[in-house]
Every structure is written in structure tokens, then in C-alpha cells.
Structure 1
Amino acid sequence: MKLKICGMKYPENILEVGALLPDYMGFIFWEKSARYFNGTIPELLKTTKKAGVFVDQSQEEILDKVAKYDLQAVQLHGNESAAFCEELKMKLGKKIEIIKAFSADNDFDFEILKPYEAVCDYFLFDTKGKLPGGNGTTFDWTILKKYKSEKPFFLSGGIGINELNAIEEISKTNLPIYAIDVNSKFEIEPGLKNKNLLSNFKRKFDVANF
């Protein structure tokens, strides 16, 4: 199981967190976010993929940010259609991953995923809240029992160090969980991560070897 640390903002902090060798590091390019990124990404080890997070933004803007920041993944966190994802995938090429995020609650209809299966590399399930992401709360993971797809997915939404036991339990299921996505539970302020807390989490995460 891989680890994605999202909502990075400050160059020095990016380097500190990058030294922990996460599999993905996320940068939010949605201007309404408190974690909106518009700076310079320092050089990271190639083992860490840079993911750009977008919310109902144009393909032109996405393609521009991919080129400018040499992104390896694009996370779509709005109401992007399957047709939008398919067209974007053709423009991006096979080397750049598309992660389609969905806000989940107890009434989530997993049938809406079907049109996206062939046009996205991964799904991401986040907690349904006032914001597209970064709400700081977890959703009821038992609803994932209804997930019948083989498409690997990222598990997100208010995950902190106290969720390690729950991660261990859900890892024992047959669900194709590809990665855990963490953000707000490790912050000093929006966009500024607590390196020590993340280091502790990463160490326990690696030891557990989910």
C-alpha cells in the first residue's frame, strides 16, 4: 500500500516531507483552497510522484500545470465527466496517471463509477463535506463493502495517526486499496505539514507493511 501526502505548499516544508520518501506528493491548484499552490516545487527524488489536484478546471489549465511542474499524476476532485477524463487522458498520454476523486457518504451510489473505469487509472474516495477535500473527517469505510470494481483506489478523508489500526483492518479485506492519502490531520496550518508527526506515521505505516 502506497502513501500520498497532499496539500503541500511551502518549499522548505516540501523538502522536509520529501525526505520521508512518500510515494506521492499532492499540490492543489484550485484557487479557492487554503492550500492553493502557486510557487516553485523544489527537486524531489524520482521515487515520489507529483500529483496536481484540480476541481472542475479546464483541460488547458490542467495541461499547463502538468507541463510547468512536470506532474506525474492528475487528481480530478470536481464533477468532471467520464468523457472529460477520456479526452484528457488522450492529451496527457499513458505516462501520466488520472485519479478521479469521489465524495463518499452512506448514500454513495457505486454505480456512478462504471463510466469512469476505462478512462481513469485510479479512483479516490474522500469524505463528503463542505469542501471538495481537506474536510478533516473520515467517512464510514464499511460502505466500501459495496465496491465491486477491480479498479485500485486511494483512501482519503481525515486520516491521521489514530487511523492506523483501522487501515490495518481494512487492508485484510479483498478491496483493491492502492494508497492512503493524508493531509489535514498532519498540519500545523493549511499547507504546512508537521514533519515529526508525519515521520512517526510513515515509520509505523512502513513497519505494518499493509
Structure 2
Amino acid sequence: MMRTSMNRTKIKICGIKTQQDIVIMNRTKPDYAGFVFFEKSKRHLTYDQAADLLANLDHGITPVAVCVSPDSARIEAIARLGFPIIQIHGNLTNEMIEQWPNQIWQAVNVEGEDLPEIMSHPKIVGYVVDGAKYGSGQSFAWSKELAKACVSLPHLILAGGLNAENVCEGIQLFQPDIVDVSSGVELPEMGKDAAKVEAFIRAVREGA
């Protein structure tokens, strides 16, 4: 079953950290930009930092809040910032789903060759298939069997170790609705590399 074609695959650039990152986003115009709320990540933002970044983000780019097993206070704070989508790694409970007022992307961390169990709920509109450890920049073992299992997901976001060199292969195999990149477009120290962002977006949109 064909899920999508390469030139219709949407793009999420995750781990937005600085105002310069926002400048790059506004110039290159991915479909989504991810903002991380997880203290163990080098991309973690305070709520004030996130608010400042969101204020300058192009309105045509959809912001996504990314967190890991968030507690009630975190969900409430992120909701106040006005995010239309929350991407949840780790534990996802019915209580979280009920508290969050908008759409949810559930992260599915693949450790072997099988697709882990997923939750089903009207608010869950996407599934982020990622490597075993969130934010590691490491991919999972791509296989035709796993790709076939992913076809059953109603909205697939492919993540984990993507870059301009391998994203076309991932699209051809998994036919995702969205591709999600972070470390694959970063500078060695911190922040996004404009040239890498441009190359990634060009690879997806032009099949280069």
C-alpha cells in the first residue's frame, strides 16, 4: 500500500534552541518545528525561552512541544504556551491524554525488529517511530518487515538518525507522512547548521 510520495512528505526540524535557529526555520520553512522540554537533553528549553522563540516563528510553521513522560504541571505549562501538538516519549497515560487539550504524537521507540505496542485515542493523530533512545541521533534497524508494520499506523513520523544522505532511502522504505530530524542538521556545539537544514529539506522535497 502506498502511503505517500516523496514530494508530499512533510518535514519537522526538531530541537530548536536559539533565535538563530528561528531565523533558519523562517527562511527554509519546514512544515513543523520541535521545541524540547526535557532537562536531560542539551536542547531543553525553559518556558520563557520557548515563549520568546515561538513569538518569532513564522506562522506557517507548526510548533510541536516534545517531552518525555510529562507530569501534570508540565502538560499544563506547555498548553499555556499555545502548542497545537505535543509529542510524548516514554510513558503515555490516559490521564495525560485527557489533560492535554490538543493533538498528540506518540513516540514509538524501536529496540528490535518489532513495532512496540501503541495507544489508540482520537487525540493521538501521529506516531513517531524513533530509535531506542530519544535524542541520541541513532537510527533503528530499518527492514522491510518493520516498514510493513508501520504501514498500519494512521500517521507515520519517521525519526532517528536521519540526515540529508539517508532520508530519501527512509522515505522510499517507510513512506512516512513526516520525516523528523534533529542531530542530523546540527552544528557540533549547539544550534542548527543552515547548510545542513537546507540540504535536508532539498533532499526531501526534490528527492536529491
Report the TM-score when normalising by structure 1.
0.83
Residue by residue over 1:155-182, the C-alpha shift from the partner in whole angstroms, topping out at 9 and shown as x without a partner, is: 00010111133134225xxx5x210000
Letter in 2 for 1:136: G
Find the counterpart in structure 2 of residue 204 from structure 1: 203
Find the counterpart in structure 2 of residue 4 from structure 1: 12
Q: Give unmatched runs, 5+ long, in structure 1.
A: none
Over 3 Å counting, the alpha-carbon distance change for 1:5 and 1:191 in structure 2 is farther
Alignment size in residue pairs: 193
Aligned partner of residue 198 in structure 2, secondary structure: helix
Aligned partner of residue 123 in structure 1, secondary structure: strand
Q: Give unmatched runs, 5+ long, in structure 2.
A: 1-8
Letter in 2 for 1:28: V
Aligned with residue 100 of structure 1, among 103, 106, 115? 106
CA shift at 1:18, angstroms?
2.6
Runs of 4+ in 1 over 6 A off after TM superposition: none
Over 3 Å counting, the alpha-carbon distance change for 1:51 and 1:190 in structure 2 is farther
> Which whole-Å CA distance do the structure 2 matches of 1:25 and 1:165 have between them?
20
Partners of 1:29 and 1:52 within 8 A in 2: yes
Report % sequence identity.
23
Find the counterpart in structure 1 of residue 138 from structure 2: 137
CA shift at 1:144, angstroms?
2.6
Report the TM-score when normalising by structure 2.
0.83
> Which whole-Å CA distance do the structure 2 matches of 1:208 and 1:148 have between them?
21
Partners of 2:85 and 2:103 within 8 A in 1: yes
Over 3 Å counting, the alpha-carbon distance change for 1:122 and 1:165 in structure 2 is closer
> Which whole-Å CA distance do the structure 2 matches of 1:123 and 1:190 have between them?
30
Find the counterpart in structure 1 of residue 80 from structure 2: 67
Over 3 Å counting, the alpha-carbon distance change for 1:102 and 1:191 in structure 2 is farther
Partners of 1:8 and 1:14 within 8 A in 2: yes
Give the RMSD, CA atoms, in angstroms: 2.1
Q: Tell me, yes or no, if structure 1 residue 125 matches structure 2 residue 133.
A: no
Partners of 2:105 and 2:127 within 8 A in 1: yes
Aligned partner of residue 161 in structure 1, secondary structure: coil
Residue by residue over 1:135-162, the C-alpha shift from the partner in whole angstroms, topping out at 9 and shown as x without a partner, is: 1121122223223524111100010111
Aligned partner of residue 192 in structure 1, secondary structure: coil
Aligned partner of residue 157 in structure 2, secondary structure: strand
